Amino acid sequence: MWRTGILRKKVTADKEDMEKVINILMSIGYTHCSIYDSKDYYSLSASILEEDDESNIKKRVYYLDVSMFLVEIDIEGRYKFFYPRENCYYYAYIHFDDIKGRELIISEFLYRYFKLFTEDIFLNESGYVYRKEDIEKVYCNKDSNWIYSSPDAL
């Protein structure tokens, strides 16, 4: 079952887009990324490491796990969603795992992401759709509960 993530009208394997996603993560402080290649998707794990003042040992502080789909998977309601506002289907592209406690990091990521990919949409677990304009409002408000609400409530 789809939970929370980015959808796009057409999904194709695109190395440049993946590099842009990694660059966004790096621009918000993620310094370590690992990629697992499964035939239909990439699993990307990123983390921010912080030095422990007492031991000078780096420890993981924030991590973000995302899956980037490389092909359109034609399973309606799971990877394929009808968007009535535009009368078309959108397909799973980037799935966020375990969003609890990462709401503001995700809003930061989405704010930068939608500057590059303005036609994509963000679908939350409750079925609310956020467009670029909605994410800009979320980013300005800095409310960690945004991801659980309708964009109309912003």
Q: How far is CA 21 from CA 85, 88, 104, 127, in A?
A: 26, 25, 17, 23
Mean pLDDT of 8-30: 82
**Span 76-130, pLDDT tens digits:** 667 788 888 889 999 888 888 778 888 888 899 999 999 999 999 999 888 899 9
Residue 16 CB-half CA count within 13 A: 3
Domain residue ranges in the chain? 5-144
Q: How confident is the model at residue 40 (pLDDT cuts 50, 70, 90)?
A: low
Q: How confident is the model at residue 60 (pLDDT cuts 50, 70, 90)?
A: very low
Pairing of strands 58-69, 80-83: unpaired
* Average pLDDT, rounded, for the chain: 80
